Structure 1
Amino acid sequence: MDLTTTAYGTWSGGRFMHYGETLPEDRYLQCIRTAYEAGIRTFVTADVYGNGKADELLGEALADVDRESYCLVGMIGHDFYVGQRQGNKGYPRFTDPELRGSGEYKDYMRMACSKSLERCRADRFDLLMLHNPDDIGYTSEAVWDGMRALKEEGLTSRLGIAPGPANGFSLDIIQCFERFGTYIDWAMLILNPLEPWPTGLILPACEKFGVKVLTRVVDYGGVFHGDLKPGHAFKPGDHRAYRPQGWVEHGLEKAERMLPLADKYKLTPIQFASIWNLSQPMVESVVPTFFQEPVENARDIELMIREFAALPDVRFTPEESEQIRVIGDNTGCMTLKGASKRHETSERADEWPMRPELLELAGRYGLGEDW
């Protein structure tokens, strides 16, 4: 089963990623069941969330439904089996040279995939993605030979790449498509009407190589869910508190300018943002983050899930899409991760020095040299 238009991610609900309130386990499970009951048929998990606990809870929540009735998406990449957590950096990638050499990649990937499937109570993924790769993950033939082997062995039906955890990696992704695009069916990218950049730079390459796109952060940190107001105070540890000061107010102001188009199509804000994403080339699935905001009169997270599940089958015209992109244009608003001229050495798993072949690629795709 390929991905459906609407998808639900196990990072929702605050148990494994610190957004809003942390739901108790029974309600977290009920949210997954609510998504299924409301008609969502794609579920996305990552083995590193809760060191496998998210996989387990997803498997438990869907234990009583027909496995053939939903699409299961998994992600592997962070080694929490042997690797040691490095504070806010999280666990190292399995490709870290201090953990293993390239000759050991395939065995690790088979082990990680098999254990994740066991926790999910499944015998295969419909899509397995390489999660938050480092520069080795983007460029190593041994890594992608390992991914291909998992498909050949029947552990997954499709393969993909999920860059992150921050935004960027544009040139790295395009080069990965050029080298390994015959293996790659899907990419999970950050995109929403308030963040059309930099993913907009990658979509033409997705078209060229036939890579479908699953978009996350369509909610823009909750702005398109409707519970954030100017001056919102985030709880200590909430990941959104690390965004630049004033981002909520700035986002709300821009979103307000977009809402006449939402009204035209009778869309709620999250439906509007999702339809804008789906109106972009190669975008075929959307997976928001669902929050239970710790504020007075906040809507129940279950209502947000049902609202998203009722996404109507409409698309914006190219002119309407461009109108929204111009309002939301965020070009240059952040320091991008991945290959960059800022670095002479690779000191973090998500930042590394620029390579000449990437600048050559940027020239071929008309992306300039300011990286």
Structure 2
Amino acid sequence: MEYRKLGNSGLTVSEISLGNWITHGSQVDDPTAQACVQAALEAGITTFDTADVYSDTKAETVLGQALKGVPRENIELCTKVCHPTGPGHNNRGLSRKHIMEACSASLQRLQTDYIDVYYAHRYDTHTPLEETFLAFADLVRQGMVHYIGVSEWTSAQIEQGSALAKELRVPFIASQPQYSMLWRVIEQEVVPASVQAGLGQITWSPLAQGILSGKYLPYEAVPPGSRAAAQAGKPFFNKLAGRWLHDDVLTAVQQLLPLAKELGLTLPQLAVAWVLHHPYVSSVIIGASGPEQVLENVKASGVKLDQDILTRMDEILGKWIERNPVLTG
């Protein structure tokens, strides 16, 4: 495993992180989740990503239990706040009330005294940004949070947040967007704004919701037990993976297999390595339904891709690559 600094901060993260968005507490039972975390630790992963909303808060609980006994100074624990965690009006958003209460609840579920990176999971148009960053500043000063990040914010929102963070002396260091060979909407605006603000990218969905795993074949039914089968009909999945679950796209993806083989990689490893090729990326979040997936994906760490390979990949995927910055968020 190789390691990188997160943005312009002094915090070191593993260039591959383990996340538990739709696995821990839902599709994966607790013993398997713990096995995934153990495999990650043994492979050198030190950065773990979750959110209070994942699996209706259970994902944090499962991760906290899995990491119990691991020296806290040896890992970087990241979670998020914004999405609804209950039915009440104040059980969501980035108000001071919700941020302070949500952070305390996350600390309890994660069985830890502090969060390394605490993300605003989305931008809250109903709360003044000043209120949000003042709450974050207090969490940092109280030692409950060490650094602040944002997820799926636009370039303009990042710029506004950066200005406030500097004014309040809040260590604002990370952006967490979706990023893959097929989804590149951050490149034109979010990345330059983040670089200017000193933020590193900790990206999610390097396999484009599983499309780049290679297991979805053109002109064949979706495999039973796959993410597409489990998430079919859900709005988020329909919005993202649904746009690529077409025979023409899947045919193009299959054409990446010879390139991966040429490099001695699997297609998922190639997809993760492509994201890590970009210097503005500090870490790539992977998910896993079993420890064997963790062990496969970590082999992308340290892989170098030359320009010829990158060009050939772009030529294969061609018009299926989404670059429109308006789709950020």
TM-score surpassing 0.5?
yes
Q: 1:62 to 1:171 in 2, by over 3 A?
A: closer
Is the contact made by 1:279 and 1:316 (CA closer than 8 Å) also made in structure 2?
yes
**How far is 1:237 from its partner?**
4.2
Contact 1:225 1:304 in 2 (8 A): no
1:244 is matched with 242
Q: Does 1:3 align with 2:23?
A: no
C-alpha contact (below 8 Å) 1:196/1:328 kept by paired residues: no
Residue of structure 2 equivalent to 1:99: none
Aligned mate of 1:28, from 26, 33, 58? 33
* Secondary structure of the corresponding residue to residue 73 of structure 1: strand
What SS does the corresponding residue of 2:73 show, helix, strand or coil?
Answer: helix
Contact 1:7/1:41 (8 A) holds in 2? yes
**Pair 1:170 & 2:154 matched:** yes
Superposition map of 1:236-315 within 5 A:
237-238=231-232, 239=234, 240-241=237-238, 243-244=241-242, 247-291=245-289, 301-315=290-304
> Cα RMSD (Å) of the superposition?
2.9
Percent identical pairs in the alignment equals 23
Structure 1 residue 142: Cα displacement: 1.0
Number of residue pairs the alignment of both structures matches: 303
TM-superposed CA distance for 1:47, in Å, is 1.0
> What CA distance in whole angstroms lies between the structure 2 residues aligned with 1:326 and 1:276?
14
Amino acid corresponding to residue 134 of structure 1 in structure 2: D
Report SS of the residue matched to 1:287: strand
What does residue range 29-68 of structure 1 map to in structure 2 within 5 Å? 29-68=34-73
Query: Secondary structure at 1:213's aligned position in 2?
Result: strand
Moved more, 222-231 or 68-77: 222-231
> 2:112 is matched with which residue?
122
TM-score under structure 2 length normalisation: 0.80
Q: 2:208 aligns with which of 220, 228, 241?
A: 220
The Cα shift of 1:81 comes to 4.2
Q: Secondary structure at the match of 2:14?
A: coil
* Residue number among 137, 142, 146 corresponding to 1:157 in the alignment: 146
Indicate the SS of the match to 2:120.
strand
Q: Which residue among 183, 191, 197 is the counterpart of 1:209?
A: 197
Alignment partners' CA distance in 2, 1:211 and 1:45 = 19
Look up the SS of the partner of 1:158 in the other structure.
Answer: strand
Closer/same/farther in 2, CA of residues 321 and 336 from structure 1, 3 Å limit: same
Match of 2:229 among 214, 222, 235: 235
Secondary structure at 1:310 match in 2: helix
Structure 1 125/318 Cα, relative in aligned 2: closer, same or farther at 3 Å?
farther
In structure 1, runs of 5+ residues without a counterpart are: 17-21, 85-90, 96-104, 164-168, 292-300, 339-371
- State the one-letter code of the partner of 2:108: E
Mapped contact 1:79–1:94 kept (Cα < 8 A) = yes
